[in-house]
Amino acid sequence: AERGELQKVVKWLRKGGLVGALCPTTSVDGRASTASLLHVAAANDHLEMVRELLKRGASVDLPSSLGLTPLMDAASGGHLSILLLLLQHSANPDLLDANSCTALMKAADRGHEACVKALLRAKANTELLDKEYGRTALQWAEGQGHTATAALIRQHAAPPQSAAAVEAMQ
């Protein structure tokens, strides 16, 4: 799955391999973890494999042993097509990993504007705080100097003004 070898994965599934099986892996920061085929395919930008696994019933919100979801993997990697596909399959954008980070925080931290836009359209909560640093997605974007990404989040988080309020300000 990591190498994108779709036919080998399909063959393994046909022989009785479980679509939701967790396999040992290492996180990007070097921690030992377990993750599903869907996590690995999402993290490595293998769109066709993600499609196949979802078609075969892979759980879109199944967490890895570190609490990461496939949506978080796609957001962190900036894999917009996969992120959109997971959202179409009702992936929850507000799930938290072991550090209370969301997919929106991960995309904002990396400056993946298109993924941030998609998550905001999916109504990702901009007010959630991670437990390690107590930061919102906006603060993650600002902390990394991603000004355009921060502006997107700021614009989305601002309460809409009524026409009467705008007139009163003029």
pLDDT in tens, 112-132: 999 999 999 999 999 999 998
DSSP-derived letter for residue 15 is T
- Taking the C-alpha atoms of residue 38 and residue 15, their distance in angstroms, rounded to an integer, is 18
164 pLDDT band (50/70/90 cuts)?
Answer: very low
Of 145, 73, 61, 79, the C-alpha closest to 115 is 79
The pLDDT of residue 166: 45
DSSP letters for 98-153: TTS--HHHHHHHHT-HHHHHHHHHTT--SS---TTT---HHHHHHHTT-HHHHHHH
The pLDDT of residue 159: 60
Strands 32-36 and 22-26: antiparallel
The pLDDT of residue 27: 72
pTM of the predicted model, to two decimals? Answer: 0.89
161 pLDDT band (50/70/90 cuts)?
Answer: low
